[in-house]
Structure 1
Amino acid sequence: MGCPVSPESVVHQEGAQLDFSRSMSYGDYLQLDAILNAQHPQSAAHDEMLFIVQHQTSELWMKLMLHELQAAIRCVAADEMSMAFKLLARVSRIMEQLVQAWTVLATMTPPEYSAMRPSLASSSGFQSYQYRCIEFGLGNKNPAMLQPHAHRPDLLARVQAAFEAPSLYDETLRLMARRGLPVPASHVERDWTQPYPASEAVEQAWLVVYRDPEQHWDLYQLGEKLTDLEDAFRLWRFRHVTTVERVIGFKRGTGGTGGVSYLRKMLDVVLFPELWRLRTEL
């Protein structure tokens, strides 16, 4: 049998750098001191750390999602379809991470949540400006959702910009019109701050694509990428409402919403209605 090899000798043999007094380390690059010292429980409840980390990591994933979603919207507007597909696939995978995160929070029982709930005061995920930008970017426009950010002009400006800009679906329909498909003028130029109005004419334009995918391959692919994204988003909403009901029942939310009753209404929101309706016609 050979002599045991120490971890230190392996590190030296592989040439790993051990002295970071003059160069950037892993922790330096990732700003880990700032990230790992950003958890400040307001109560003595053990489970408050879970609640904080759950929501902080979700906000980090949403930061990346916004980064990718906004780039995807620009790509669709510029007819750069290959890159748009890559970005939208990544957005869907990020959404899957957010869906799975609810399974961790669901380990918190009602008594455990009740022990820390007073420390939340009126704070709520309902007030997340990043989430609101994502919803606006996906086309779910509601001017009332600007108000929770009015106390922060810097954040309000970001949310307002997303509210006033064409959504991902708006840019998709404009692309289809540029390709000569019969998208009505009312859906090519409109007040982007208004909720999206579902259209029989838009459904017919999509049916042209889906009935001849080889002729319209990139638009066909784009339609399926959008369907993937909404599918993942629906799962996120469903896991959200079931986790909230499991943890707090039908109590009102800390941000003043009806809690579960409000979240259940959100399950009925359809982002890309014609892409779902056309399936009945095929």
Structure 2
Amino acid sequence: MGHDTVETPNLSFGRGGVPGRSTPYAQYVRLEELHDLQHPRSKEPAELSFIITTQVMELLFDLLRHEWTLARQALREDDLPAALAALRRGTHAQDVLVDSWDLLATMTPQEFNSFRALFGEASGFQSAAFLHLEFVLGNKNAALLGMYEGMPRTREELVEALRSPGLYDEVLALLARRGLGPLPEPSEQRYRPSEEVAAAWRRVYTEPEFAALQPLGEALLDVAERVTRWRQRHLSAVKRTMGGKPGSGGSSGLTWLRKSAEQDVFPELWTIRDEL
């Protein structure tokens, strides 16, 4: 034996407190916790799909927030390649988000109604992670913070997102530094289209001096298009599953979703298309 060391096996306590071996993989991805987070409240088989799909979306919201935060920081530092890389990685997360609706696409009204009452006033509209992304995109609304009065840490994070420059704000600041300003300053209000911003993007797409910024415009359109796809799939899934009934948690259901799906993200990049 000599100086040989003997590794002590890692032990974990599984369900019921029974000690057992844990693989490095299980420890790294926290498998026991992950697989213990699904607790259907009905005997309807479709409810498990509903819960898991919702949880997957929440995790993807966190991943997207991570990538957009990196993109904002890179833009602030004038590191265009790093910003483009983060936006590109984010579009892959967005694609999975859009496709996640396939897991719920065939749920019938009868299946959904069999457990809908059991989650009470819970609604995806209350998702703090989703609202954070909306604020980063410029869809800011301070009135929505009232939902989180009982969650101080979450509310503090959302207040910071409300007050901080969003993704598009950092893009416009970069355009201004590259000689395309002055452009509107960041605001705590919902972003409104600006002719000054439209004029700056026209120059990016028509003047050779600014052509190096065109990949940024196209990357933003990739993001914006996927945001719209996600909203449209959400609208379609709700329309198919519950029709025009009021949404849980007091939301207006289809009315709100339809209005959201009609809003362009980074609007000037779309409107100048008519002139190019």
Instruction: Please give the TM-score of this superposition, normalised by the length of structure 1.
Output: 0.88
> What is the one-letter code of the residue matched to 1:235?
R
In the alignment, residue 246 of structure 1 is paired with which amino acid?
Answer: R
Check whether the contact 1:72–1:84 (CA below 8 A) recurs between aligned residues: yes
RMSD: 1.6
Shift of 1:261: 1.2
How far apart, in 1, do the equivalents of 2:47 and 2:69 lie? 33
Distance 2:36 2:69 in 1: 30
Instruction: Give the direction of change, closer, same or farther, for the CA distance of 1:99–1:20 in structure 2 (3 Å limit).
Output: farther
DSSP-derived class of the 1:40 partner: coil
CA distance in 2, matches of 1:28, 1:107: 35
1:132 is displaced (CA, Å) by 0.5
Asked if 1:273 is matched to 2:267, the reply is yes
Corresponding residue of 2:9: 21
Distance 1:263 1:53 in 2: 22
Where structure 1 has 5 or more consecutive residues not aligned to the other structure, the ranges are: 1-18
Give the structure 1 partner of residue 236 of structure 2. Answer: 242
What does residue 107 of structure 2 align with? 108
Task: Show the counterpart of 1:74.
Answer: 73
2:19 match: none
AA aligned to 1:221 is: P
Tell me by how many angstroms 1:248 deviates.
0.5
Structure 2: 5+ residue runs without aligned partners? Answer: 1-6, 11-21
Code of the aligned partner of 1:201: E
Contact 1:50 1:105 in 2 (8 A): yes
Displacement after TM superposition at 1:24 (Å): 5.3
In structure 2, give the amino acid aligned to 1:276. W
1:146 counterpart letter in structure 2: L
- What CA distance in whole angstroms lies between the structure 2 residues aligned with 1:35 and 1:228? 31
1: CA distance, partners of 2:167 / 2:182: 15
* C-alpha displacement of 1:217: 3.7
Q: Which amino acid aligns with 1:130?
A: A
For residues 263 and 249 of structure 2, what CA distance do their matches in structure 1 show? 21
Q: Residue deviations 1:24-53, cap 9 Å, x none? A: 521111000000111011222222111100
> 1: CA distance between counterparts of 2:238 and 2:43?
22
Q: Retained in 1: the 8 A contact 2:227–2:265?
A: no
What stretches of structure 1 move > 2 A for 4+ residues in a row? 19-24, 214-218
Q: Distance in 2 between matches of 1:89 and 1:167?
A: 17
Looking at structure 1, the residues matched to 181 and 255 of structure 2 have their Cα atoms a distance apart, in angstroms, of: 39
SS at match of 1:180: helix
Match of 1:215 in 2: 209
TM-superposition CA deviations, 1:118-173 (whole Å, max 9, x none): 11100010000000010100111111221222220111011111111111111111
User: Per-residue CA shift, 1:45-94, capped at 9, x if unaligned?
Assistant: 22211110010011111111111111111111111111100100111111
Give the conservation status (yes or no) of the 8 Å contact 1:124–1:254: yes
Cα contact 1:207–1:278 (8 A) shared by 2: yes
Question: In the TM superposition, what are the counterparts of 1:115-264 in structure 2 within 5 Å?
Answer: 115-184=114-183, 187=184, 189-190=185-186, 192-212=187-207, 214-264=208-258
Tell me the CA shift for residue 102 of structure 1: 0.5
TM-score for the superposition, normalised by structure 2: 0.90
Contact 1:139 1:196 in 2 (8 A): yes
* Corresponding position of 2:16: none
Distance 1:281 1:31, change over 3 A: same
Asked if 1 retains the 8 angstrom alpha-carbon contact of 2:91 and 2:222, the reply is: yes
Asked if the contact 1:173–1:183 (Cα under 8 Å) also holds between the matched residues in 2, the reply is no
User: Retained in 2: the 8 A contact 1:142–1:195?
Assistant: yes
User: Do structure 1's residue 42 and structure 2's residue 30 form an aligned pair?
Assistant: no
The SS at the match of 2:209 is coil
Residues matched between the structures, number: 259
The 3 A distance-change label for structure 1 pair 110 and 20 is farther
- TM-superposed CA distance for 1:114, in Å, is 0.5
Separation of aligned partners in 1, 2:256 and 2:167: 25
2:133 and 2:40 map into 1 onto residues whose CA distance is 27
Q: Secondary structure at the match of 1:255?
A: helix
Q: What amino acid does structure 2 have at the position aligned with 1:49?
A: L
